[in-house]
Structure 1
């Protein structure tokens, strides 16, 4: 068991412990996207007024655009051997990185909660209890698997990708037996606001993986092709999410209120009754378990990264690991229990609101990694507030703030609508502004001062005091 339980957290994974292939990213991200919450996300495009055809086109576009950004983050993992958010210290400073980290932690708690609501319903049916008990049971299982760590997460992804794919094929066939696909596809009526809503829903879905996607590629051997990591991550995530979201669009367009009143129950009813229904309740719980373990694991990584920036901590004990995971689990479960009766109405706004805060971070991180630092980081300095990167890097923090403010005039949610949404016909294009504006501003500022960029990547030598340089092109 000791060999299975992960011992690394925010520290560098040494080359001697690297393993796996880039293809592992495909199975993990297919499994992480074939589940009920992705179905609901696709359904929202129709629920809020879109037609089937243009909703599907918009979802495809958003999955590809957001997935490409997310996969660029994934390609950083093998090169640096670090979790995603600790890399932000190179842009924001060792302590300054806590600013986006606080929002990342909020995201993990929110996704844990939203996933637990739907999975809790399935778990309750399997255990013949109520939704509250189902949510708690599901949360406990999630926490245990997250504590075991990296290896079990990838095994879970492989298992879920196969089982959930088979289940979705069967459910798709059953759905097409009930509906006239020609009628659904024939009712095409383009609306720019609804089209952009569909794009934003799927783009936000993909971009939300950005803050932790490298957590699951960092164990790959250092010589793993960056292109292979990128394409396997993108194809797995885009395929899995589009598959689920397409199913959601067709279900919402054909079932209407029957689906909205009980998302889990309606999907299971497509499969059948009795023992067959139990199988599909299990499939729903399994699909949600995969992504909720990712959220819990990523959440504890983000918390450790934020706290350690002020404490100078580089490694974490097993006891500390369990404590951080317990905090994420308790917080997510509390939010799930509080919001389980208003899930669908709040989930859309949650997704789009998250997008506002993560697009500027993503733009800054990617511009720095690929265009400014050009994949060269001083990894020991990421733990030293007096080192190369300093405690606070104000250029990135200011650009991040500008990126947030620039989006507000274009933001459309139930609790706030920006002044430029009306002239655009109600369309929300804030996420495009949130990518472009900070990317351009950070590039203009950062390229003027590159004294902090090392000539080549510097890694700590495992078990040896000091550091060792690694050629910057090693992962190409």
Structure 2
């Protein structure tokens, strides 16, 4: 298998291949890991019982995946990575603004995934914690280096294995002793329920910045409906299942949240080499997404200033630098991982949701999926160097979200008046969607009849 030769450039029709059903395995596999299981512990930590945890996870996943899959459907039509497509909304240089926030999300998830994996094997590996982290980083680097095709193959294999392994884990989890009242509607708490829904929504939205990267090689005449539904089904089934499993195990196993991976390995039969390998495989597979996405975003930020030719050696150099930085950040781990993880997910939502609203309104409501691809790479093109309208809407929305926020680090005045209900994600979705649509229509910039190259 050869190293992928494409990076952020347009994929010509002669290189397009594959079928949309492969996306089910990509996004099911993306969720089939202990990080998603750990996310399922969060509703329990908020005080919900299993009934309300399960309902919030399902509702949040079903809502969040709509936006995620809508981004995925852009891939075959445009043939370019997700974040470089943001240049059509923010401008060639202006797109750097949301990219900076997205880079933080990639690095945050890389750290979370790596820490959970290192924690899971800490008692079983002959290496130190730093050694385990370095080994995981090296494995992620190699898969990301080969790129698109290898990632698809890794995800398909992971999905097939995960169905069997997590199926067994689910049966074992359901057999654990659970305290009475966990599957009843008693003890409802609106604040905790809405927070849990927000977690599940944000979890699905976290894939939005790179979801089209894995559909962009499909032929341009691929059914957008099929791309949407295969992506939607894979991420909803995988994400909901893993989170529900995490919630059940949090109630059925004492101290489960202290070491999610190790407890899951113990549930599946102890520290066997096979189980350890499976857990590590899942963490490497999802971390490759973050490393691959960070590489794409880095090139997108640099390319307007320096026309780079991405050869295999250049690709390897950038990936190595990014992987080294991300791996180094793992040494700055927080002692209270669960609280760190909870704050990180809420942090993501405050920046991701305004970006996704702007991107989807532009693609589906304004430009109807019709773009001039060559101009996305040209600062002098129709999308310009900076679209101050989009940037102003994006940054103003983040400012508008602040009074509605409710995290352990900060609680806004509106959230306080609502007894802690966090509605920042609703503000982050509706405000930029309406404002961007109205302002861009007023500018009349959509009269341009762009055409895809």
Q: TM-score, normalised by structure 2?
A: 0.97
Q: Cα deviation per residue 1:403-434 (whole Å; 9 max; x = unaligned)?
A: 11111111111211110112222121211110
In the alignment, what sits opposite 2:295?
300
Q: Is 2:281 aligned against 1:270?
A: no
Q: Is the 8 A contact 1:312 1:383 kept in 2?
A: no
Q: Is the 8 A contact 1:121 1:135 kept in 2?
A: no
Matching residue of 2:115:
117
User: Matches of 1:181 and 1:25 in 2, distance apart?
Assistant: 39
1:328 aligns with 2:322: yes
Provide the alpha-carbon RMSD of the alignment: 1.6
* Aligned partners of 1:192 and 1:425 also within 8 Å: no
Matched, 1:282 2:280: no
C-alpha displacement of 1:48? 2.2
Q: Is the 8 A contact 2:53 2:193 kept in 1?
A: yes
How do residues 119-268 of structure 1 correspond to structure 2 at under 5 angstroms? 119-124=117-122, 127-180=125-178, 183-186=181-184, 188-256=186-254, 258-268=255-265
Aligned residues: 453
Are the structure 2 counterparts of residues 410 and 274 from structure 1 closer, same or farther at C-alpha, using a change threshold of 3 Å? Answer: closer
Deviation of residue 271 (structure 1)?
A: 1.0
| Structure 1 Cα separation of the partners of residues 120 and 280 of structure 2 | 6
Q: Which runs of 5+ in 2 are unaligned?
A: none
Residues in 1 aligned to 2:120 and 2:336: alpha-carbon distance in whole angstroms:
17
The question of whether the paired residues in 2 share the 8 Å contact of 1:101 and 1:302 is answered with: yes
Shift, 1:146, TM fit = 0.2
Task: Give the equivalent residue in structure 2 for 1:357.
Answer: 351
Which string of whole-angstrom CA distances, capped at 9 and with x for unpartnered residues, describes residues 244-274 of structure 1? Answer: 0000111112224x21222211111111135
Equivalent residues of 1:10, 1:301 under 8 A apart: yes
Q: Relative to structure 1, is the Cα distance of residues 438 and 187 closer, same or farther in structure 2, using a 3 angstrom cutoff?
A: closer
Deviation track 1:32-76 (CA, whole Å, cap 9, x = no partner) reads: 101101111111110121221111111111111111101100000
Tell me by how many angstroms 1:112 deviates. 0.7
TM-aligned CA distance change 1:79 to 1:182, over 3 Å: farther
Which residue of the other structure, out of 7, 13, 17, is the alignment partner of 2:5?
Answer: 7
**Residue pair 1:122, 1:134 contacting (<8 A) in 2 also:** no
SS at match of 1:29: helix
Match of 1:424 in 2: 418
Q: Do 2:40 and 2:243's aligned partners in 1 also have CA atoms closer than 8 Å?
A: yes
What residue in structure 2 maps to residue 291 of structure 1? 286
Match of 2:57 among 56, 59, 66: 59
The alpha carbon displacement at 1:127 in A equals 3.9
Distance 1:443 1:283 in 2: 46
Residue 211 of structure 2 aligns to a residue whose secondary structure is helix
Residues of 1 paired with 2:321 and 2:371: CA distance? 31
Q: Is the 8 A contact 2:406 2:415 kept in 1?
A: yes
Whether 1:442 aligns to 2:440 is: no
Identify if the C-alpha distance between structure 1 residues 346 and 274 changes in structure 2 by more than 3 Å, giving closer, same or farther: closer
Contact 1:93 1:389 in 2 (8 A): yes
> Could you say what secondary structure the match of 2:203 adopts?
helix
1:442 Cα offset (Å): 0.4
Give the unaligned 5+ runs of structure 1: 460-476
Deviations 1:295-323 (A, max 9, x none): 1001100111011123244x422222112
